Amino acid sequence: MKFIPTFLLTSFFLSLAPGAFLRAAQVSPSIAEAPLQETLSAGTEYAFAFHVRGVEKAALINNKEWHYFEKSGEAFTQKITLKPGTLTLNIECSRNGTNSFRRALSYTVK
């Protein structure tokens, strides 16, 4: 199933604190693949894919375990088999000359 809920990442980028800089905020990022539900099943493999300009790194964090996205041009893809706990999709952005990861999506894994 493919969908493009651009509001998810767009609202994240546009809500960054004052002084934050991310060129992607000037474009409309799109999610090509991601779970729609808030609660995901442990032991199940999920696929994530999105396109955005101006971002070099993105990662899924499942219970403090980092899984970096594969990047090809503006496309980011990752598959992950989940462990119970939490899962977040995080995107690296620059603020005041310092790079840091910001949470874009959050899930509960049971």
Beta strands 98-109 and 39-40 are parallel
Q: Residue 109 is encoded by which pair of tokens?
A: 């894994």
Q: Residue 63 is encoded by which pair of tokens?
A: 């219970």
- Show the DSSP H helices in 1-110 as ranges: 7-14
State pLDDT tens for residues 80-99. Answer: 999 999 999 998 877 777 78
Q: How many CB atoms lie within 10 A of CB 46?
A: 18
Domain spans of the chain, in order of start: 7-109
What is the predicted pLDDT for the residue at 54? Answer: 79
- How far is 2 from 22, CA to CA, in rounded Å? 26
Mean pLDDT, 10 residues at a time, over the chain (110 residues)? 39 40 46 91 96 88 96 94 95 78 90
pTM reported for the whole predicted model:
0.71
State the CATH class of domain 7-109: mainly beta
Assess contact for 82 and 76: CB atoms under 8 A.
Answer: no
